[in-house]
Amino acid sequence: MSKIDKMSILGVRSFGVEDKDKQLIAFFSPLTVLVGPNGAGKTVRKLSNGS
């Protein structure tokens, strides 16, 4: 079975282009839920993995 362990985001929407702005998101099994206010980057996280 394939799975995504972690994802790094840099230079998309509200995330800056410099290395200090990079966000690393670790996914946990069996469930990962992304929750946050409007404009927090939830869609960016979904789109950045190719979905």
Enter the pTM of the model.
Answer: 0.44
Structural domain boundaries of the chain? 6-47
Two structure tokens written together for 16: 């800056």
* Predicted local distance difference test score (pLDDT) of residue 3: 75
Instruction: Write down the pLDDT at residue 37.
Output: 84
DSSP state of 17: S
Could you read off the pLDDT of 14-32 as tens digits, one per residue?
Answer: 777 888 888 888 887 777 6
Assign 45 a pLDDT band (cuts: 50, 70, 90): low
